[in-house]
Amino acid sequence: MMAEPELARSRAVRAALAGFGMVAGYAVLGALQILVWNPLAAVPGATLAEIRAQMAGAGEHAGTPLVVARAVTGILLGVGMLVAVLLRKLSAAGATVLSLLLFVLGAPSMMVASFPSGMGLADTFGISGGDHAPWGSVLYLASAAALLLLVLFLVRNHPRPTPMPPR
């Protein structure tokens, strides 16, 4: 049987590993959505190389540096959370809150990172700059679910004030 501090540390490490996996997965899937899946869905029948070549010929770009920076930043924030837990600076509850918060922030960061690619596609091919592949919506819904879970977690784990004894 584990002692209480070891059990708490084990919970924190498991929460941080799960959170890191979720955040890193979101970062990678978001990059694939913006740079691969959406352009292919937006221009059916064309290869990614053909799409990029036409965009370059029109003076447009996919915003790859911004997308990569977004993904790397998300992964590094996840690593930082994991390191904080391993250094005993963050509890299981802290890792859970931070993981959910990073997951929630994936949606607005994806919107910002996808803007250059969407506009480049729109300007080059005369289409809408929005998502054409369904996976962007899935990621946005996952962020919304994480927001709901974050609120529920904070409400459930909020310390209750102790009532004052009568005088």
- Give pTM, 2 decimals: 0.87
pLDDT digits (tens, 9 = 90+) for 99-138: 999 999 999 999 999 999 999 999 999 999 899 999 999 9
Low-confidence ranges of the chain (pLDDT < 50): none
Residues 6+ apart with CB under 8 A from 12: 85, 90, 91, 92, 94, 95
pLDDT at residue 160, as a whole number: 72
pLDDT at residue 163, as a whole number: 76
| Phi-psi domain of 36 (left: phi exceeds 0; alpha: psi -120 through 50; beta: other) | alpha
Task: Break the chain into its structural domains and give their ranges.
Answer: 7-156
